[in-house]
Structures are given as structure tokens and as C-alpha cells.
Chain A
Amino acid sequence: MQCQECDKRLATLHFTKIVNGEKTELHICESCAREKGELIPGTSSGFSIHNLLSGLLDLESPNPNSMAKPPAAKCDTCGLTYTQFSKIGRFGCSHCYKQFAERLDPLLKRVHGNTVHVGKVPKRAGGRLKTKREIDRLKKEMQGRIEREDFESAAELRDRIRELEKEMSC
């Protein structure tokens, strides 16, 4: 989320201000807060976190670098368009992450400073991941054996791969 004051740095201070029952949120970065010497800048008009996030996406302004290869404009699973995403700052389904992948990493980098998960892995999906990686490894190995014309042991690997693939589809 971008700082609302300088529009450059990441906002790390978030305030909810309530005046006469009217609630507004304020998001500023640490150095803007310090510059002002206080933590409460003047009043601001109402806006939501997701409006701010969408500001970050900057879809409407043409960017010569990212426009070279336009990504899919629409998620073919849930139907969310990138324009909609850039307005509301939320994805419609898990497939959106793949669909909008090209534009996603720069955004994630700005929000999190990272693009790759290193935490917890669900046991079941994790098991599938492991099997997938094993299949990839075996396929490479099989290719090598075919090139060495070791067809007998390549056939063994082929059977093992088929087994694993069957496991995966269950």
C-alpha cells in the first residue's frame, strides 16, 4: 500500500479517524510521519484500503515497459477482468493468480518486498507437489537413458512415471 502523502514509499502507519461519527482511514509512510513531526496530518476525504491498493496497480496510465506484451485481460475461470481487479484490488479466484501472473510480481514486490512463499505448506497439496517434482525428475532421467539407448531400464522408469501419474489423478 502506497503512502497517501508522498505517494512514493510503502505506507506503514495506518489510522482510523472518527469525526462526528464519520470514519476515515489514513495511510502514510514512516518518513512522512516523521517529517510532519506528528502522526496526525490534516483531515482527508474518505477512501478504502482497496482503492489505495488499486492506485498502486496504475492500470489506466500507459506504461511503455509493461505494455510491450499485454497480459490476459480476463480470467477465463471466474471472468474477472484486469480492469476490475485494478479497481477493487481483489482477485476473483485462485486461477486469477496465474492469469495475471505477469503483472503480479511487480505488485507483490512492492507490497511484500518478495514474490515467493517460504512458509507453511498444506500436507495434501504438499504431497502432490512432491509427486509432481518426482515425476519431472524421473522424466529427465528416462530421457537420458533413451539417449544412451538403455531402453530396458527406460521402460522401467516409464512404468514408474505412469504409476505416479495415476496416483496424482486420484
Chain B
Amino acid sequence: MSKRKFVKQALSQWMNGVGPDSDVVISSRVRIARNIRSLPFPMMSDPSQSLTVMEQLLGVAENGRLNGLGKVEQVRLTELTELEKLVLVEKHLISPSLANESRNGALILSPNEDISVMINEEDHLRIQCLCSGFQVREAWDAASKIDDIFEEQVDYAFDEKHGYLTSCPTNVGTGIRASVMMHLPALVITGQINRILSAVTQVGLAVRGLYGEGSEATGNLFQVSNQITLGQSEQEIIENLFQVARQMIEHEKSARSKLLTESRTRVEDRVRRSYGILSHAIIIDSKEASQRLSDMRLGVHLGLLPEVNELVLNELLVSTQPGFLQQAFGEAMSPEDRDRSRAELIRSRLVTTS
């Protein structure tokens, strides 16, 4: 059963490809929300209605219309264990909401996992395209093509005034959410991040950071996405995000070279300390792990860690999360066990690949 493959590999194939500006941008994503006109949204569906939705939408994949994507995989959520669902969530292939609800949820996945189609999530249909590196335009083009294929078969809920009708009014109109996941360690270290994030939000974009208990974003990862879906065309939304992200990338890059010329020794010390800790620690929590991995990732891109392979760091960012750890080590673990297993996993990966 090839669904095992999706669950077992920490890295989706699309993450292996070194996309444009991948030293700063981890991934670009576009999601399109659509609904079938004549049926209630998933929240108000009864089981027979949600089954109709699932069959109709899976049917589009079944009769080969998605052939351009290669051999797509269809997975009904009921076929998966709780742990398998958690792993798919950690790989960003399904949302926590789809994993938790029981209303005939399903998933269509392309072979390299860059396209995932969620059925009966908050909306009947959620088409998601993930690209490695900075490829937000490419992600939109790919997602829009899938949208066109579904539209040939499905009578979408669409209204002349409000556009594509979605379950949540924050998605109505275009129904698209485009985002860029960026690694911005140099902007954080040099203290420029707040000023830049403030500027970004003034042009209608939203920023998400994953915060731990300390004062820095965990792993220095920030997701910038469009806030508005109504009153702007898809092209305007994508271009706005593209231009702003472009500038953030340039700021991060110049902050990195400034770090290198002005405080090389201190940065090198920080990077190598993190490497030292990750390759020797016996216990490590997820927050420290992602911060240290972030330092190492910066080090790799500044040329300060020539012995480390960047792909291993990308993989560790995913595989050190709770679901993956539990799967790798067999059973449900206490947080303490997890911290020990996490350290063990990181140590072994850093040793065998360096």
C-alpha cells in the first residue's frame, strides 16, 4: 500500500528539489477553497451528503482527469490510524481539522506530494499546491489548473457579487490563500525583524510565526500570506505577495552578508556551538532543537559548516516533531522519552551524514 510511503518519509519529494532562493524560502504554497453549489458545506452536511461530496470529487481523480499529475493516490481518512494522520499533518499534507473530523474526509495526493487535494475539510474542496523555494507564481498556476479540471465536472458555489462562496467569510471571493515560508535568522539576530514585519502587514499581508517560550520565533520561521480574498484578483494577490516576499528575501540576504563581514567570529561561534550541542546532546526539547537547527541552517548558507548537508537539516526540522518521533520509535512516548529520542535521532543523522 503506497500510502505508507507518504507516512514514512519525513521529507516530501518536493522538498528535495532545491528551489529558487531556497537559502531563505523553505516553501511556497497556494490553497484554493471551493464548494459544490447544491450541497451544504461540510459543517452542516449529514453523512449521506458528505459521502456524495466525497464520491463526486474522488470521481474526478478516478476517471483520470488528473492524469497530468502522474499516478495520484486517493486516501479516505478512515483508512488511516491516528498516528498516520498526525504524520500527514506534520508534513503539511492535511490540516489538523481534516484529521480530527469524522465527516467522510479524503485526500488526493500527487506522487511527489506537491499537490494535495483535501475533501470535506472546512470546505468541500481544498486544492493545495506546495513548491520548494520561492515559487509562489508557479504554485498558483499549478493549483489553478487543478481548479479548472474540477470545475469541468463540478458545479461550484459561485455568486456574481461575492465570487466563490466558502464556509468561512474570510475566504470568500477568490478563495485563495497564498503563502511563503521563510527562514529569517539574520533579520532576527540583527534586530530588524519587527520593523520589517510591521511594514509587511501595512500592505494587506499577514505574518505567522511559531513562537516558543522565549523571545525568538522558533526556528526563525515566518509565514507571510495574503489577508484579503475579496476585491482583489488572483493575479493582484499573488503579485503583491511576490513583490513583498522578494524584498524580504533581499533584506535577509544583505543582513547575512553583513553578519559575515562584521561579526564573522561571533556568528561562527554561535553556529558551531549549536552544531556541537545537536551532535552531542542526550536530551533536547523541540524548541531548542528547532533553534539550533536554525543556527546550523544559517551556518550552512554562510559557508561556515561545509561538512553538513542542508537536506539533513530540512529533514530533521520535520522528523523531530512528536508524530514522526513516535512513529520512528514505535509507541506512544512521554515528553521525556521524546526529548531523549529526539536527541538520539539528531545525533545519529548528523554523524552518519557528515
**Chain A contact residues, CB within 8 Å of chain B:** 1, 10, 12-19, 21, 29-30, 33-34, 37-40, 50, 53, 77-80, 88-94, 97-98, 104, 107-108, 111-125, 129
Given contacts A38-B194, A117-B163, list 11 more A-B pairs with CB under 8 A: A12-B207, A12-B227, A14-B206, A14-B207, A19-B212, A91-B166, A91-B169, A112-B231, A117-B231, A123-B148, A129-B160
Q: Which of B152, B161, B229 is packed against the most chain A CB atoms within 10 Å? A: B161
Q: Is the CB of A104 within 8 A of B210?
A: no
Provided the pairs A39-B197, A114-B228, A125-B155 are in contact, do residues A18 and B211 lie with their beta carbons within 8 angstroms?
yes
Contact of A97 among B148, B152, B165, B174 (CB under 8 A): B165
Indicate if the CB atoms of B159 and A94 lie closer than 8 Å: yes
Expressed in whole angstroms, the minimum distance between the Cβ of B193 and any Cβ of chain A is 8
A137 to chain B, nearest CB (A): 15
Choose, from B9-17, B39-47, B69-77, the stretch at the interface: B39-47
B167 contacts the other chain (CB 8 A): yes
Q: State in angstroms the CA–CA spacing of A39 and B233 once bound together.
A: 31
**Interface magnitude class on chain B:** 35 or more
B194:A119 contact, CB within 8 angstroms = no
B311 to chain A, nearest CB (A): 26
Using a CB-CB cutoff of 8 Å, which residues 157-175 of chain B contact chain A?
157-170, 172-174
* Among B151, B169, B228: residue with most chain A CB under 10 A: B169
Q: Is B289 at the interface (CB under 8 A from chain A)?
A: no
CB neighbours of B232 from chain A (8 A):
114, 118-119
* Chain A residues, Cβ within 8 Å of B202: 30
Can you pick out 27 interface pairs between chain A and chain B where the beta carbons lie within 8 Å of each other? A12-B201, A13-B207, A15-B209, A17-B212, A18-B211, A30-B198, A33-B194, A33-B198, A40-B215, A50-B168, A92-B41, A97-B165, A98-B159, A107-B169, A114-B231, A114-B232, A116-B161, A116-B230, A117-B161, A117-B162, A117-B231, A118-B232, A119-B174, A119-B232, A120-B163, A123-B148, A123-B151
Given contacts A14-B207, A18-B212, contact A120 B228 (CB under 8 A): no
Check if A91 sits within 8 Å of B167, measured CB to CB: yes
CB-CB nearest in chain A for B167: A90
* Interfacial chain A residues near B306, Cβ < 8 Å: none
Chain B's closest residue to A77 (CB) is B40
Determine whether the beta carbon of A40 is less than 8 Å from that of B211: yes
Within the complex, which residue of A33, A89, A93 is in contact with B168, where a contact is CB–CB below 8 Å? A89
**In the complex where A16-B210, A33-B198 touch, is A121 in contact with B40 (Cβ < 8 A)?**
no
